[in-house]
Structure 1
Amino acid sequence: MDLFEIADALGGSNIVLLLLAAFIILCVFLGVRIVPQSEKHVVERFGRLHAVLGPGINFIVPFLDRVAHKISILERQLPNAQQDAITSDNVLVQVETSVFYRILEPERTVYRIRDVDGAIATTVAGIVRAEIGKMELDEVQSNRAKLIEQIKALVEDAVDDWGIEVTRAEILDVNLDQATREAMLQQLNAERARRAAVTEAEGQKRAIELNADAELYAAEQTAKARRIAAEAEAYATEVVAKAIADNGLEAAQYQVALKQVEALTALGGGEGKQTIVVPADAMDAFGNAFNMLKGRS
């Protein structure tokens, strides 16, 4: 074997080694799959579901297995949708909804439903119309939280076979047609007017009650004052009567004389120049009062 034959042999073996190394590298490249944290990969073998690869490093059989679907497991939001619905009291409303969901089991999602977003949107629209049709307009407006919970529960049941979890379902707005809005505005204004009239009537009633209470209180106080004055006068009369009974006519003359003296004193205490007419027996009255007072002391 000459040098050319040896070189040819060595060259052929090197090519084989290079091809073998390339094949091994290709197998490693095809057999090792690194899945991101936010994804799951669906692996098929000969066209059938074989495995679901989770986040991290995974190994598959090269040339036999292939990653057929790469599914994001992040939470998704459907575009806001509007659908018409009729309440049980025959009012047409336009409901705007928003739904959030995420895929939990991609092997069920990719083989059972083609358009996930469209399917969920259609399901939500049907459920919203059905649930609002069971309620009156006032209930839709006042029990929105309860309605949202019912819609979310029904949507979850409907999409459970698709390996999907509905995380949130929101009713963003409930719009009414112009005629219904005007009718509701008139009703609201009428209710406000009624409440204002009731409040005014209650205020007038309360004012009348307070005035009556004030008049009653004033009458009670006047009667009380008169009773006290009457009691005082009766007491004074009783004292005079007792004095007359004890001292006889002398006590009565003393009271009369004392009143005359008080009257003359008051007349003389007036302002300006005055002419005082003194009865003929005034001096006698002073004398009698003095003598009686002295006698009593």
Structure 2
Amino acid sequence: MGNVILIIGIVVFILLLFGTFFMVRQQTSAIVERFGRFVSVRNSGLQLKIPLIDRVAGRINLRVQQLDVIVETKTKDDVFVKLKVSVQFKVIAENVYNAFYKLEYPHDQITSYIFDVVRAEVPKLRLDYVFERKDDIANAVKKELNEAMTRYGYDIINTLITDIDPDQQVKNAMNRINASEREKTAAEFEAEAQRIKIVAKARAEAESKRLQGQGIADQRREIARGLEESVNVLNNVGINSQEASALIVVTQHYDTLQSLGEETNSNLILLPNSPQAGSDMLNNMVASFTASNMIGEQMKKDKTDTKKNDKN
């Protein structure tokens, strides 16, 4: 009988011991109630309570938590879009009582406010502006949540719009528009590059023609200077200008024949090309120059006679 009482006493002692001490983990607060009424908030470490009278009603997590909410709504241009809103929040250590007793389902409350704000802000914007002003939407959600959740002991640390997902058909259309814009830009650049090439080529050709013309002019100037010197040399040895000019032409004729003979692939035929062609050409040219001089002298004489008659 004594052993039974001893065992019962040990069991009761153990139960009282475990009912008296309890552990609270780091970044956690415990709510202690006595007969269903709030007594105190206990923080991390080994804590005491009155066994069978006090009880741990619940524990509150003080770490930063994140809630992801997907909201489907419609933009101003009637495009349905899904927004993923990520809210980072935590319980204020000094307001554990309010967080535990005033709000039973904080996640549901936060989700309701997110839906309310997003569905009030997004319909004011076109789809393109939703992407551009997502930070403004996030700030509006954070402001609304802070005003609503602070009285419940919750602090909204940050609110982010982490994803904007339009309808698949809308995304395909946007991709086609983007591709068309890029093709248009590429075509403009290609056209500009082609224009630059054409202008550069035209300038190069113009410069080439200018230089070619200048070269021909210089060549002809030098030929004329050479012919003048040749005529002067022939004049010095008693050959008059007509005979000198004819002689130079014949010389060039034979130089041409020599150059044609050196060119093996030439198909040019020079007519007439008889052995006496050079002599005939020289005689004809001398005769032509002589006749030309005689005609010129006769014209000058006639002109002088006319002037004298007019004076008389």
Task: Specify the TM-score bucket, using the shorter chain as the normaliser.
Answer: 0.5 to 0.7
1:50-89, Cα deviation, whole Å (9 max, x unpaired): 32111211123456543222234455554x5444433344
Match of 2:145 in 1: 155
The code of the aligned residue for 2:138 comes to I
What SS class does the counterpart of residue 209 from structure 2 fall into?
helix
Judging changes above 3 Å, is the alpha-carbon distance between structure 1 residues 243 and 267 closer, same or farther for their aligned structure 2 residues?
closer
The code of the aligned residue for 2:74 comes to I
1:211 aligns with 2:198: yes
Match of 2:47 in 1: 58
Measure how far apart 1:102 and its partner are.
Answer: 3.8
Among 74, 84, 109, the alignment partner of 1:86 is: 74
What SS class does the counterpart of residue 217 from structure 1 fall into?
helix
Judging changes above 3 Å, is the alpha-carbon distance between structure 1 residues 283 and 235 closer, same or farther for their aligned structure 2 residues?
closer
Contact 1:267 1:276 (8 Å CA) reproduced: no
Structure 2 CA distance, aligned partners of 1:88 and 1:282? Answer: 98
Measure how far apart 1:198 and its partner are.
Answer: 6.2
The code of the aligned residue for 1:69 comes to G
Among 247, 250, 261, the alignment partner of 1:270 is: 261
Measure how far apart 1:160 and its partner are.
Answer: 1.9
**TM-score calculated relative to the size of structure 1:** 0.65
Structure 1 CA distance, aligned partners of 2:107 and 2:175? Answer: 40
Among 220, 225, 232, the alignment partner of 2:212 is: 225
Match of 1:289 in 2: none
1:107-161, Cα deviation, whole Å (9 max, x unpaired): 2211211222221221221122123234322121344355335434532443222
What SS class does the counterpart of residue 261 from structure 2 fall into?
coil
Measure how far apart 1:41 and its partner are.
Answer: 0.7
Judging changes above 3 Å, is the alpha-carbon distance between structure 1 residues 170 and 216 closer, same or farther for their aligned structure 2 residues?
closer
1:70 aligns with 2:59: yes
Matched length: 265
Structure 2 CA distance, aligned partners of 1:88 and 1:108? Answer: 39
What SS class does the counterpart of residue 207 from structure 2 fall into?
helix
Measure how far apart 1:42 and its partner are.
Answer: 0.8
CA RMSD of aligned residues (A): 4.4
The code of the aligned residue for 2:39 comes to H
Judging changes above 3 Å, is the alpha-carbon distance between structure 1 residues 174 and 24 closer, same or farther for their aligned structure 2 residues?
same
**TM-score calculated relative to the size of structure 2:** 0.62
Match of 2:26 in 1: 37
Judging changes above 3 Å, is the alpha-carbon distance between structure 1 residues 226 and 108 closer, same or farther for their aligned structure 2 residues?
same
Unpaired runs of 5+ in structure 1?
1-10, 285-297
